Amino acid sequence: MSKKKLNILFVASEVVPFAKTGGLADVAGALPKAIKELGHNIIVVMPRYYKIDVSKLEKLPEPLGVPMGVMGEFWAGVYKTTLLNSSVPIYFIDYEEYFGRSGLYEDDNGNGYVDNANRFIFLSKASLQLCKMLHFIPDIVHANDWHTASLPLLLKTRYLHDFAFAKSVLTIHNLQHQGNFFKGVVDVMEVGWNYFNAHDLESNDEVNLLKGGIARADAVTTVSKKYAHEIQTQEFGFGLEQHMQAHSHKIYGILNGVDYNEWSPRTDKLIAKNFDDKDMSGKLVCKRDIQKHFGLELRDDVAVIGFVGRFAEQKGIRMIAEVIHSLLDMDVQIVILGTGEKWAEGFFSEIAQNRPNFALHVGYSDSLAHKIEAGSDMFLMPSLFEPCGLNQIYSLAYGTLPIVRATGGLDDTIHNYDEFHQKGNGFKFYDATNDALYFTIKWAVEVYYSQKEAFENMQKRAMQEHFGWDDAAKSYEDIYLNILGK
Ligand code: ADP
Ligand code: GLC
């Protein structure tokens, strides 16, 4: 019997290459393509942020009406194109008053927009209204993070009669951000006040969008197996651990994949020279390229350690800041690309002025991210928690050995160097302490200098690993079919 072709609505607040602040965008730009490859009909919906150039997009002729409860009905424009190198349609909800701003979630000073609840409830409702307009009846509605977490509940209430057979999946990319807002938004959601209770939307007398989504989704997924367990503990549950435990029967961990069209040293157009595990000579060219770019001493023989990521406590930047001087006393070059918390931007900028073997770029730069992945010998990711983490997986592809803390997806993907058996693909520590971080980096640097062959073999092993989206897509498909009872 042939497999049933499913209609899937996939909604996310950011999607590569249109808008990105972190890994969610990478996932939303790649996973739908892999699901389509399995033979399903999938459409993606995201906001049309101000910076998305609409000149090459198709504009739908009809405006889209979006009911916003007590606020009345709002009318949005809709643009359309396809995901990069694919035929997966992506629709952009164009509503100037909500999305015509420079930031995705916050202003230039890092303050979250005060109307974020309405903005993303609007996106969620707009995605369902769009389905009605397109006569696209979803079997599965796949939501991501708090921004679109109202979808499972909307399907069971306000949209029950429109999409009676649709099932929902909510993927948690980061439990820290839950979408807590003034409870009055219940009247904007139009889900009914009976859902404002401690088992659904309510949390400290506020609406918690993620909590409501977890309660009502037919399946909840997280982006690694380890994180699926961690979020049920007090240490990683961000106050929702009991809620997670109550729903543990429907929580699954599926590791993210890599879009190798974007992240492969063989074909990457953003790096100085391509290379692969058979011929790594191009990697040295990439190393010189970042040394030149950042004004570091041009040395082939020095250990270069890279970091790319948001300056957020999650990423362990405070620990890095606390040990940076001791690290820089070693014979290493450290290159950091990131933006976020102001204290970190200021702190690292000052170090960059005083230490010749330290380089920094404050800001967001896709091309520099690729160059650092390619040209570094090691990649630092000492996260306090990490639902999946993509950079360490990209690093493996570029033969840049990750130095990570054993948490979430970092623990699932990185295996410690085992000198005796000559195994492993990186360096891993367990305690979130400065000492553990410092001594692990020191160990990695020692291996780099004194066990050259072992280091190179480990790089090759890392480059031969494969984290395809095809496997992940099959796991999502299993869940879709399971909740549909097929
Ligand atoms: P998170 O989603 O928690 O930020 P991930 O490791 O899953 O962490 O994904 C981060 C993604 O964002 C990667 O693709 C990384 O290259 C990218 N990224 C993060 N900070 C920057 C930056 N300053 N410039 C360019 N890319 C960045
Ligand atoms: C989140 C997590 C990160 C994960 C990404 C994509 O931003 O912090 O660990 O890789 O989402 O799922």
Express each pLDDT in 327-364 by its tens digit.
Answer: 999 999 999 999 999 999 999 999 999 999 999 999 99
Could you give the dihedral angle defined by the CA atoms of residues 404, 476, 21 and 430, in that order, rounded to the nearest 10 degrees?
-20
CA of 4 to the centre of ligand 2 (A): 30
Q: Which ligand is nearest to the CA of 224?
A: 2
Residues 6 or more apart from 17 whose CB is under 8 A from it? 29, 84
CA of 83 to the centre of ligand 1 (A): 19
What's the pLDDT score for residue 2?
53
Q: Is residue 402 a contact partner of residue 396, using CB atoms and an 8 Å limit?
A: yes
What whole-number distance in Å separates Cα of residue 396 and Cα of residue 468?
Answer: 13
Q: Which ligand is nearest to the CA of 223?
A: 2
In this structure, the residue with its CA closest to atom 22 of ligand 1 is 364
In this structure, the residue with its CA closest to atom 10 of ligand 2 is 389
Q: Helices 366-375 and 281-294: crossing angle, nearest 10°?
A: 130
Residue type, position 480, single letter: Y
What's the pLDDT score for residue 1?
43
Express each pLDDT in 136-176 by its tens digit.
Answer: 999 999 999 999 999 999 999 999 999 999 999 999 999 99
Q: Which residues pair with 90 in a beta bridge?
A: 44, 81
In this structure, the residue with its CA closest to atom 17 of ligand 1 is 22
| Structural domains of the chain sorted by starting position, each given as residue range(s) with its CATH number in brackets | 7-257+469-483 (3.40.50.2000), 281-463 (3.40.50.2000)
What whole-number distance in Å separates Cα of residue 104 and Cα of residue 28?
Answer: 15
Q: Which of 26, 173, 210, 469 has the most ligand 2 atoms within 8 A of CB, as the residue to mutate?
A: 173
CA of 391 to the centre of ligand 1 (A): 7
CA of 419 to the centre of ligand 2 (A): 31
What's the pLDDT score for residue 109?
85
Q: Which residues of the chain have pLDDT under 70?
A: 1-3
pTM: 0.96
- Nearest C-alpha neighbor of 3 from the set 40, 48, 55, 50: 40
In this structure, the residue with its CA closest to atom 3 of ligand 2 is 389
Q: Which ligand is nearest to the CA of 31?
A: 2
110-to-86, 251, 316, 320, 341 alpha-carbon distances in Å: 34, 32, 19, 22, 8
What's the pLDDT score for residue 103?
95
